[in-house]
Amino acid sequence: MNQQITYPYIVKILQNYISPNDKVLEIGCGAKQYREYLPKSEYYGLDLPQSSYVDEAPDYPCSAEDMPVENESFDCIFGVATFYLHGDPDRTFRECYRALKPGGRFIVFDYKQSLLKKIKTDKRYTHVQTWGASELSNRLSLAGFSEDGLQNISGMVDYWDYPSAVRLLVRSIKRLLGLEVSNWLIIYAEKK
């Protein structure tokens, strides 16, 4: 059995943006470790059948660049540390847009540009996108997501790590000191 890391702040963000009874698709689902945290949602996983992270067959054993799903099928689509590895991420983003219902939510959990540049030097990976928040947001906009529906919610990683009274203070101090708030780049997009 693959032991995949489950990040508590990603669980919190998902639970914040996914409602009970939502139909949800996880791109690059691997071991489906986030499924158990969305028990009232209708969860589906998509991954390549040859993925080394897959424990059980994904509901959609295919590439996200060409998903065999109906238009406007899902309320929320998300992926954790996966989109930066896609050979044609723009096509994937267009497919996600197509598969979302109007008002649907799309959440990209990827790494910050500085970490992606380090990953790109690893010869095991053939495609590594090294985008920052602006470029990733621009690509999502070109895929169909309206600019006013795009939000960089990367700061929510720290937001969930501290009690509410000190969240803002900790983030502010880290930024003043020039410290990384986290290694995550998280973009939220809505289909209008």
The CATH number of the domain holding residue 109 is 3.40.50.150
Q: Quick check: 181 and 137 in contact, CB under 8 A? A: no
Q: 2 in a domain, yes or no?
A: no
Number of domains in the chain: 1
Residue 174: pLDDT band (50, 70, 90) is low
Q: Quick check: 72 and 100 in contact, CB under 8 A? A: yes
Q: What does the pLDDT look like over 37-46, one tens digit per residue?
A: 999 999 999 9
Q: 173 in a domain, yes or no?
A: yes
Q: 13 in a domain, yes or no?
A: yes
- The pLDDT of residue 5 is 80
- The pLDDT of residue 180 is 55
Q: 1 in a domain, yes or no?
A: no
What tokens does 149 get? 């529906």
How far apart are alpha carbons 116 and 169 in whole angstroms? 28
**Whole-number average pLDDT of the chain:** 87
pTM equals: 0.86
Q: What does the pLDDT look like over 97-148, one tens digit per residue?
A: 999 999 999 999 998 888 888 888 887 777 788 899 999 999 999 999 999 9
Q: 61 in a domain, yes or no?
A: yes
How far apart are alpha carbons 119 and 110 in whole angstroms? 12
Residue 57: pLDDT band (50, 70, 90) is confident
Q: 169 in a domain, yes or no?
A: yes
Share of the chain above pLDDT 90, in %: 61
Q: Is the pLDDT of residue 23 over 60?
A: yes
Q: 123 in a domain, yes or no?
A: yes
Q: Which domain holds residue 185?
A: 8-190
- The pLDDT of residue 166 is 53
Q: Quick check: 137 and 148 in contact, CB under 8 A? A: no
Rounded to 5 degrees, φ, ψ at 168 are: -65, -40
> At CA 19, angle to CA 15 and CA 22, rounded to 5?
120
